[in-house]
């Protein structure tokens, strides 16, 4: 006589084995994307969207221990931060093994140590594209910037253009994304000025008349996803939001959102050059203990030029996407700089009750 308990136990073991085999096959069939700089401002949004789309995601970063926040973007083991130094061929290749697509989000706003504009934005970008071709990667998306110009006197803009050229030379079918200034809850633009507004009654700026076309970070991520999945062809796309404003006007928009009255003072560029020189000298004499991320001469050069989508350029329309307006997003994260913070809306409501 055969024990029913034995049959049940055997059936359970077989079921578990079949389930494990199914999961292994499913994992093998799932596509993989490696995102260089995937824990950065834009990269994390791309990682989140790719995880939701069911892809396995490798987040390549210099400090994987500081990038553990990306793991909950997917199921257990779906999103993994891994160490990578984009200045090294072997390091770049190791995290690209088996990838179906790669995204390069690595860039620097100011140079620090070995991470120069040339090393990161030109050589690093070219290295990723070359190795992607050697490894047979199907799709590549490269994050550049509006204003990339091989003839520019700005090291930032020139190396961005050189990086684009290196990518397209090694990987002709790559998608190049050129966003204007990117905004979102982790940005270094509105957050920086919002914080300044809590400390001083005056907001000094340079290039107050320069035009910008701020673009929401998740819209940039959606554009990247279209390139990764093949829903959009390669090529150069310039990404700007629906609003075109001068830097001075953007400061007024920000101040209105945070409910503060501050004097926005547009300073002449020669004053900026003096300050940038002083900060640079301080960095030099401190042997790098002080890193000048406040204002550099190179940043001043970029602030003197409009940062908007070029006429006739491909953009969101060609990708089938509609960019998000600033007014829909800024209040969601700039409220922390209001005098009453999260209680501002409650206080405003209470004022209305007292008046009535």
Q: What pLDDT is attached to residue 289?
A: 87
**What mean pLDDT is predicted for residues 148-161?**
97
Q: How far apart are CA 47 and CA 56, in angstroms?
A: 9
Instruction: Kindly state the average pLDDT of the residues 251-261.
Output: 97
Task: Give the Cα separation of 73 and 79 in Å (integer).
Answer: 7
Residue pair 247/190 in contact by the 8 Å Cβ criterion:
no
Write the CA distances from 344 to 197, 201, 253, 337, integer angstroms.
16, 20, 17, 10
- Checking if the pLDDT of 254 tops 60, the result is yes
Q: Which two tokens stand for residue 25?
A: 């096959």
Q: For residues 296 and 273, what is the distance between their CA atoms, to the nearest angstrom?
A: 8
Burial class (CB in 10 A: 0-12, 13-18, 19+), 320: exposed
**What is the rounded CA–CA span in Å between residue 290 and residue 283?**
5
Write down the architecture of domain 31-355 according to CATH. 3-Layer(aba) Sandwich (3.40)
What CA–CA distance (Å, rounded) separates 72 from 299? 36
Mean pLDDT for 173-179 is 98
Over 90: is that where the pLDDT of 4 sits? no
Token pair of 315 as six digits: 């953009």
**Is residue 35 within 8 Å of residue 60, measured between CB atoms?**
yes
Q: What is the pLDDT of residues 94-117, one digit of tens each?
A: 999 999 999 999 999 999 889 999
pLDDT of residue 24: 45
Q: What is the pLDDT of residues 117-131, one digit of tens each?
A: 999 999 999 999 999
pLDDT at 235 exceeding the cut of 50? yes
**pLDDT level of residue 28 (50, 70, 90 thresholds):** very low
The 3-state secondary structure of the chain reads CCCHHHHHHHHHHHHHHHHHHHHHHHHHHCCEEEEECCCCHHHHHHHHHHHHCCCEEEEEECCHHHCHHHHHHCCCCCEEEEECCCCCHHHHHHCCCCCCEEEECCCCCCCECCECHHHHHHHHHHHHHHHHHHCCCCEEEEECCCCCCCCCCCHHHHHHHHHHHHHHHHCCCCEEEEECCEECCCCCCHHHHHHHHCCCCEEEEECCCCEECCEEHHHHHHHHHHHHHCCCCCEEEEECCCCCEEHHHHHHHHHHHHCCCCEEEEECHHHHHHHHHHHHHHHHHCCCCCCCCCCCHHHHHHHCCCECCCCCCCCHHHHCCCCCCHHHCHHHHHHHHCCCHHHHHHHHHHHHHHHC
Average pLDDT over every residue of 40-58: 98
Tokens of 167: 């990518």
In this prediction, residue 9 carries a pLDDT of 53
Compute the average pLDDT of residues 123-143.
98
Q: What is the rounded average pLDDT for all residues in the chain?
A: 91
| Res 351: pLDDT | 63
CB contact at 8 A, 188 and 335: no
At residue 51, does pLDDT exceed 70?
yes
Q: What is the pLDDT of residue 356?
A: 55
Could you tell me which residues are beta bridge partners of residue 139? 101
CB-based contacts of 240, cutoff 8 Å, min separation 6:
146, 179, 180, 213, 214, 215, 308, 309, 315, 323
pLDDT tens profile 61-76: 999 999 999 999 999 9
CA distance 215 to 139: 24
- Asked if residue 353 has pLDDT above 90, the reply is no
pLDDT at 30: 87
- pLDDT value of position 26: 43
On the question of pLDDT at 25 being above 60, the answer is no
pLDDT, residue 239, reads 98
Domain boundaries, given as residue ranges, for the chain: 31-355
* 293 against 16, higher pLDDT: 293
Q: Cα(323)–Cα(339) distance, rounded to whole angstroms? A: 30
Do residues 111 and 156 lie in contact, with contact meaning Cβ atoms separated by under 8 Å? Answer: no
Task: Give the least confident one: 24-33, 215-224, 305-314.
Answer: 24-33
Range with the lowest mean pLDDT among 166-175, 241-250, 283-292, 309-318?
Answer: 283-292
The CA-based diameter of the chain, rounded to the nearest angstrom, is: 97
pLDDT for residue 340:
79
Q: How far apart are CA 346 and CA 341, in angstroms?
A: 10
Range of lowest pLDDT (23-37, 202-216, 311-325): 23-37
Cα dihedral 19, 22, 28, 34 sign: negative
* pLDDT the model gives residue 343: 63
């Amino acid at each position: 006589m055969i024990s029913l308990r034995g049959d049940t136990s055997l059936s359970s073991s077989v079921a578990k084995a079949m389930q494990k085999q199914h999961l292994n096959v499913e994992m093998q069939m799932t596509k993989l994307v490696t995102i260089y700089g995937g824990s950065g401002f834009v990269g994390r949004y791309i990682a989140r969207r790719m995880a939701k789309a069911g892809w396995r995601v490798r987040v390549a970063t210099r400090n994987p221990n500081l990038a553990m926040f990306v793991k909950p973007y997917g199921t257990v083991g779906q999103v993994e931060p891994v160490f990578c130094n984009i200045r090294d061929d072997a390091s770049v290749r190791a995290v690209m093994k088996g990838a179906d697509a790669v995204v390069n989000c690595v860039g620097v706003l100011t140079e620090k140590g070995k991470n120069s504009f040339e090393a990161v934005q030109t050589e690093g970008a070219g290295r990723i594209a070359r190795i992607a071709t050697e490894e047979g990667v199907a799709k590549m998306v490269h994050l550049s910037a509006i204003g990339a110009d091989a003839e520019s006197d700005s090291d930032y803009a020139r190396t961005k253009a050189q990086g684009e050229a290196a990518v397209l030379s090694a990987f002709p079918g790559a998608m190049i994304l050129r966003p204007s200034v990117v905004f979102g809850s982790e940005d270094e633009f509105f957050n920086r000025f919002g914080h300044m507004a809590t400390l001083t009654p005056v907001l000094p700026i340079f290039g107050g008349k320069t035009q910008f076309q701020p673009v929401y970070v998740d819209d940039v991520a959606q554009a990247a996803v279209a390139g990764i999945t093949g829903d959009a062809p390669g090529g150069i796309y310039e990404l700007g939001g629906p609003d075109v404003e001068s830097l001075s006007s953007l400061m007024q928009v920000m101040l209105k959102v945070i409910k503060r009255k501050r004097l926005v003072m547009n300073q002449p560029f020669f004053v900026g050059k003096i300050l940038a020189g002083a900060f640079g000298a301080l960095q030099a004499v401190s042997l790098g203990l002080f890193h000048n991320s406040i204002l550099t001469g190179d940043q001043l050069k970029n602030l003197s030029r409009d940062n908007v989508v070029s006429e006739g350029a491909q953009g969101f329309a060609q990708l089938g996407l509609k960019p998000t307006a600033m007014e829909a997003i800024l209040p969601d994260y700039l409220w922390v700089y209001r005098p009453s913070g999260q209680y501002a809306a409650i206080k405003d409501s209470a004022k209305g009750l007292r008046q009535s």
